[in-house]
Structure 1
Amino acid sequence: MKFYWDHAVMFFSIEYWPDPQRGIKEAYRVLKLGGKACLIGPVYPTFWLSRFFADVWMLFPKEEEYIEWFEKAGFKDVQLKRIGPKWYRGVRRHGLIMGCSVTGVKPASGDSPLQLGPKAEDVSKPINPLTFLLRFILGTMAATYYVLVPIYMWLKDQIVPEGQPI
């Protein structure tokens, strides 16, 4: 017996997926005809230091990539909406990563029309300990950065008058 769903929600997990297109294709597969998928995830930053840490740490897709992935998977009525905390004020010159919500509707029964080859993953090579250590240190620095920047922006919001960009 097969089960299909009215909605598929993917919430701030895409940055950990090794192959995002496969995950979106799978969401298409499990939906009923007319079902809606919603993916909420981070957006690629604009500030150089934020971009550096984003590239080192994990996947931060561009808004255009989210839309492209949904359309390639077969979704129709694809829409993207930017999301962020109340204090964000919509300015991205500081490179703070805000998120977006992408939705799409499954227009036809069956699997996604997207054809992907077999999943290729090479786990036979041993990990270089020095490379691992460097990535661990940079990842820890990135995680710290992405905790401190929102705190800084929240504090700045408390000081800068309403209506002014922060």
Structure 2
Amino acid sequence: MHGSIEYWPDPQRGIREAYRVLSADGVACMIGPVRPTFWLSRFFADMWMLFPTEEEYIEWFERAGFKDVELTRIGPKWYRGARRHGLVIGCCVTGIKTQSGDSPLQLGPKAEDVSKPHVNPIFVFFRFLIGTICATYFFLVPIYMWIKDKIVPQGRPI
């Protein structure tokens, strides 16, 4: 299993597959972004790609059959946790496969749309434009956070 979960069309199916291919007592580890809490950050996140909540990560692992599921928030050392901008940055989720065999989670057949619909170039342009704006936002916010970390003394909220 590889790739970024924020681009997976069906994360639960991917986590179930990780369970299937692991041997008993194997550990699955997944790192991904976390859904922001601030309305503007959440708006851009929802427009751009999948930003699951911390609870969704844990639920996906547990539903797939993993035990001892743990979630750890991650980020650069200058990041001091969730603030007004509402970014948690990311998380690392781990779970243990305690038994051999397939995942207890039963999913229906994978839904694939193999038809190739007509793509409106105007829609593609606006989707590209929105994606660019969202990416710029998520590029600039960490720079802003890094600068504020250099200015505001440790121990004081940013």
| TM bracket, shorter-chain basis | over 0.9
Match of 1:98 among 63, 81, 89: 89
Correspondence for 1:143: 135
Q: What is the CA distance between 1:97 and its match in structure 2?
A: 4.2
Q: What is the CA distance between 1:150 and its match in structure 2?
A: 0.3
Q: What is the CA distance between 1:93 and its match in structure 2?
A: 2.1
Give percent identity, aligned residues only: 75
Q: Deviations over 1:3-45 (max 9, x none)?
A: xxxxx8x6x7100111101110111011110000001110000
Please tell me the residue identity of whatever aligns with 1:156: K
Give, in whole Å, the separation in 2 of the partners of 1:95 and 1:105: 30
Say whether 1:72 aligns with 2:45.
no
Classify the secondary structure of the residue corresponding to 2:78: helix
Q: Deviations over 1:59-113 (max 9, x none)?
A: 0000000000000000000111111111111233212241011100001111111
Q: Which runs of 5+ in 2 are unaligned?
A: none
Q: What is the CA distance between 1:135 and its match in structure 2?
A: 1.1
Alignment check: 8 A CA contact 1:56 1:135 kept: no
State the Cα RMSD in Å: 1.4
Correspondence for 2:47: 56
Correspondence for 1:4: none
Q: TM-score, normalised by structure 2?
A: 0.94
Q: Which has the higher strand share?
A: 1
Q: What is the CA distance between 1:126 and its match in structure 2?
A: 2.1
Please tell me the residue identity of whatever aligns with 1:30: V
Correspondence for 2:98: 107
Q: Which runs of 5+ in 1 are unaligned?
A: 1-7
Correspondence for 1:134: 126
Please tell me the residue identity of whatever aligns with 2:37: T
Q: TM-score, normalised by structure 1?
A: 0.89
Alignment check: 8 A CA contact 1:79 1:103 kept: yes
Say whether 1:160 aligns with 2:157.
no
Please tell me the residue identity of whatever aligns with 1:145: Y
Q: What is the CA distance between 1:122 and its match in structure 2?
A: 1.9
